[in-house]
Copies of this chain bind each other. A is one copy, B any other.
């Protein structure tokens, strides 16, 4: 049936109208056919690439062995599936999940290669987001369980140690040890408190306010916290909707983000704080549609290495040298924002520097 010319014409029209990228080469890789989606994706018109090899798309991201293995596979008549980093006509690179199917003639000899691009970016993004939130949930469960158990223990110790000390002969070894136990326990209790924030086990008393209010209250404290060599610029949307948050927790989150930015800039640079309303269009992937009150803190530091982005909110995940910071600052931000019904997203600005965006659902005026 597939040799029915009427059907063939419809199928060819289907490939022409398809949003999926198809192209056909001969056994040497010379391009015989590309569909319009190929032209849109790569920026090359059919006329520009016909007769040339698909090497025009090479980005230089793969080793010669990578291509050798690919050619060996398809020349042997087997399908090649893989991820190719290619380059558009304008120089930008993109990722291709690709299938290359060898097309054989009646004798079994490979005569053509048919390339199908699978644009699975969206599926992968959704899957990654799902996995990401499941990971944070698992970490929250672990942190919550441990902090609960140890909070109980430390409450007993800290609560009893004073009484125990009273009965100890002053100046003895026992008194010394008891005070050392108390000191260490208080230190650990501090750690536990931060873990409980991440695990959303703290109490929260949300009120309806615009984000600007706690930010204005924070201004003086933030300036003194950051030192003379870090400037803070504000751009607050005056007409921003109210949102339902616990202001003290939000301030804590902002301070943690600001401290993190200062450390990333080695104490030297500028921080920009912005509030605005966002949505229902143009929201980051995975955020449910709706209106949001947005807080944004960006810095002039080196930005966040892309491989670190998926882990940046994990407790104890830190790129700082040992002894510098607990690695709980950003995980506390995550916990606070989640507990207040919001989302926090870490990214890099186009011009360099990191940008953290927090979205809280806006209370829309009746």
Contact = CB atoms under 8 A, between A and B. Distances in A.
Copies in the complex: 2
A167 B174 contact: yes
Nearest to A99: B20
A340 B199 CA distance: 31
A131 interface: yes
Interface residues on A, range: 35 or more
A16 B106 CA distance: 13
A7 B32 contact: yes
A65 B279 CA distance: 26
Contacts of A79: 19
Interface in A143-185: 143, 145-146, 149-150, 152-153, 156-157, 160-161, 163-164, 166-169, 172-175, 177-178, 180-181, 184-185
A186 to B, nearest CB: 11
A295 interface: no
B17 A138 contact: no
Contacts of A169: 167
Contact of A103 (B5, B13, B97, B153): B13
Interface in A98-140: 99, 101-104, 112, 114, 116, 118, 120, 122-124, 127-128, 131-132, 134-135, 138-139
A56 interface: no
Contacts of A311: 134, 138
A116 to B, nearest CB: 6
Contacts of A20: 99, 101, 116
Contacts of A233: none
A24 interface: yes
A317 B145 CA distance: 10
Contacts of A173: 163, 167
Contact of A114 (B14, B46, B185, B188): B14
Contacts of A102: 17
Contact of A164 (B17, B99, B118, B174): B174
Contacts of A50: 1
Contacts of A24: 7, 10-11, 14
Contacts of A325: none
B19 A101 contact: yes
Contact of A160 (B99, B181, B191, B317): B181
Contacts of A81: 122
Interface centre among A46, A157, A327 (most CB of B within 10 A): A157
Contact of A188 (B122, B138, B150): B150
29 contacts: A2-B16, A7-B24, A7-B32, A8-B8, A8-B9, A10-B24, A10-B33, A10-B112, A11-B11, A13-B112, A14-B112, A19-B79, A20-B99, A118-B120, A127-B128, A134-B135, A134-B311, A141-B316, A146-B146, A149-B191, A150-B150, A152-B184, A153-B185, A161-B181, A163-B173, A164-B164, A164-B168, A164-B181, A167-B168
